[in-house]
Amino acid sequence: MNDIDATAIDRLAMRLGAIATELGLADLGESITRDTVRRVEHNVVRVLVLGEIKQGKSSLINALLGRDVLPMGVTPTTGATVVVRSGASEGMWSVADDDSITALDRDTFVARAKGTKPGEDASTERLELQVEPGVLPAGLELLDTPGINDIANWRATISRGELPSADALVLVLDATQLLNRAELAFLRDALAAVGGLRDSGARLLLAINRIDLVAEEDRPLLRKYLARELQALAGAIDPR
CATH number at residue 116: 3.40.50.300
pLDDT of the residue at 189: 80
Distance between CA atoms of residues 162 and 144, nearest Å: 11
pLDDT of the residue at 236: 38
Looking at the structure of the chain, the number of domains it has is 2
| Same domain, yes or no: 147 and 92 | yes
| Same domain, yes or no: 160 and 198 | yes
pLDDT of the residue at 7: 58
Would residue 124 count as lying in a domain? yes
Q: Is 110 exposed, middle or buried (0-12, 13-18, 19+ CB in 10 A)?
A: middle
Would residue 240 count as lying in a domain? no
pLDDT of the residue at 1: 45
Would residue 239 count as lying in a domain? no
Give per-residue burial for 190-216: e unless 16+ CB within 10 Å, then b.
bbebbeebeeebbebeebbbeeeeeee
- Rounded to two decimals, what is the model's pTM? 0.73
Q: What is the mean pLDDT of each run of 10 residues along the chain (240 residues)?
A: 49 58 59 56 78 85 87 61 90 88 92 65 76 87 82 57 78 88 83 68 81 90 88 56
| Same domain, yes or no: 112 and 228 | yes
| Same domain, yes or no: 64 and 74 | yes
Give per-residue burial for 153-181: e unless 16+ CB within 10 Å, then b.
bbebbeebbbbbbbbebbbbbbeeebbee
Distance between CA atoms of residues 171 and 178, nearest Å: 11
Would residue 78 count as lying in a domain? yes
pLDDT of the residue at 221: 92
pLDDT of the residue at 102: 94
Q: Is 106 exposed, middle or buried (0-12, 13-18, 19+ CB in 10 A)?
A: exposed
Q: Which residues pair with 82 in a beta bridge?
A: 127, 144
| Same domain, yes or no: 19 and 70 | no
pLDDT of the residue at 9: 47
State the amino acid at position 165 in one-letter form.
S
State the amino acid at position 131 in one-letter form.
V
Q: Which domain holds residue 34?
A: 1-43
Give per-residue burial for 57-87: e unless 16+ CB within 10 Å, then b.
bbbbbbebbeeebbbeeeebbbbbbbbbbbe
